[in-house]
Amino acid sequence: MGRAARVFVISGPSGVGKGTLVSRVRDRRPDLGLAVSATTRPPREGEVPDVSYYFMTEERFMALVAEGAFVEWDGHFENRYGTLWSEVNSYLDEGRSVILEIDVKGALNVRKAIPNSVLLFVAPPSLEALEQRLRGRGTESEEKIALRLSRVAWEMDHASLYDATIVNDDLDVAVDQLEKLIERYETDGGTDQDGSH
Ligand code: 5GP
Q: Which domains does the chain have, with CATH numbers?
A: 7-188 (3.40.50.300)
Beta bridge pairs of residue 170 = none
- Going by CA atoms, what residue is nearest to atom 24 of ligand 1? 102
Q: Report pTM.
A: 0.87
* Terminal C-alpha separation, the chain: 12
Alpha carbon nearest to ligand 1 atom 9, residue:
103
Residue 3 pLDDT > 90, yes or no? no
Can you give the pLDDT at residue 72? 97
- Residues in contact with 39: Cβ distance below 8 Å, sequence separation at least 6, in sequence order: 53, 54, 55, 56, 61, 79, 80, 81, 82
Q: What is the pLDDT of residues 33-64, one digit of tens each?
A: 999 999 999 999 999 999 999 999 999 999 99
Pocket test for ligand 1, best of 71, 76, 87, 137 (most atoms within 8 A of CB): 76
Cα separation of 80 and 7, whole Å?
22
| Centroid of ligand 1 to alpha carbon of 14 (angstroms) | 9
CB of 13 shorter than 6 A to ligand 1: no
CA angle 156, 157, 163 (to 5 degrees): 80
Highest mean pLDDT among 13-17, 127-131, 167-171: 167-171
Q: CA-to-CA distance for 129 and 132, rounded, in angstroms? A: 5
Q: Is 117 in the pocket of ligand 1 (CB under 6 A)?
A: no
Closest residue by CA, ligand 1 atom 15: 102
Residue 19 in this model has a pLDDT that exceeds 70: yes
Residue 17 CA to residue 169 CA, distance in Å, equals 10
Nearest CA to 65 out of 39, 100, 41 is that of 39
Does residue 158's CB lie within 6 angstroms of at least one atom of ligand 1?
no
pLDDT in tens, 90-138: 999 999 999 999 989 999 999 999 999 999 999 998 888 888 888 887 7
The CA 82 to ligand 1 mean position distance, Å, reads 8
* Predicted confidence (pLDDT) at residue 78 exceeds the cutoff of 80: yes
Residue 197 pLDDT exceeds 70:
no
Determine the average pLDDT of the residues in 76-87.
Answer: 93
Contact 40 CB / ligand 1 (< 6 Å):
no
Q: What is the pLDDT of residue 70?
A: 98
* Nearest by Cα to 102 from 89, 115, 111: 111
